Amino acid sequence: MTDLSHETPYADGKILTQITDGVGVITFNNPDKRNAMSLEMWEGFGEALTSLRNNDTVRVVIMRGAGGKAFVSGADISQFEKTRHNAAASEEYGKRSAAQRALLADYPKPTIACIQGFCLGGGMQVAMLADIRIAARDSQFGIPAAKLGIAYGYDGLRHLVSLVGPSWARLLMYTGMRIDSTEALRIGLVERVIPDDQLWGETMAIAATISQNAPLAIKAAKITIAEVLKDESARDMDAIKAIGTACMDSADFREGRQAFMEKRKPQFSGK
Ligand code: COA
Domain locations along the chain: 8-211, 214-261
Per-residue b/e over 233-265, b at no fewer than 16 CB within 10 Å? eeeeeeebeebeeebeebebbebbeeeeeeeee
Assess whether the C-beta atom of 74 lies below 6 angstroms from ligand 1. Answer: yes
- Ligand 1 and 146: CB distance under 6 A: no
Atom of ligand 1 nearest to the CA of 118: 34
Count of CB atoms within 10 A of residue 267's CB?
Answer: 10
Which residues pair with residue 19 across a beta bridge?
Answer: 24
Q: Is 34 in the pocket of ligand 1 (CB under 6 A)?
A: yes
Instruction: Give the per-residue SS3 of 104-134.
Output: HHCCCCCEEEEECCEEECHHHHHHHHCCEEE
Is the shortest distance between the CB of 120 and ligand 1 below 6 Å? yes
Rounded average pLDDT per 10-residue block, the chain, 271 residues: 73 97 97 97 98 97 98 95 87 90 96 98 98 98 97 94 98 98 98 98 98 96 96 96 97 97 96 95
Ligand 1 close to Cβ of residue 41 (< 6 A): no
Minimum CA distance residue for ligand 1 atom 31:
34
Can you name the CATH fold of 8-211? 2-enoyl-CoA Hydratase; Chain A, domain 1 (3.90.226)
41 contacts 28 by C-beta, under 8 angstroms: yes
In this prediction, residue 3 carries a pLDDT of: 54
212 pairs with which residues across the strands? none
The confidence score (pLDDT) of residue 90 equals 86
Nearest atom, ligand 1, residue 76 CA: 1
What does the pLDDT read at residue 5?
55
- Helix axis angle for 154-175 and 87-105, nearest 10°, is 110
User: Which one-letter DSSP state was computed for residue 260?
Assistant: H
Ligand 1 mutation pick, 33, 82, 83, max ligand atoms within 8 A of CB: 33
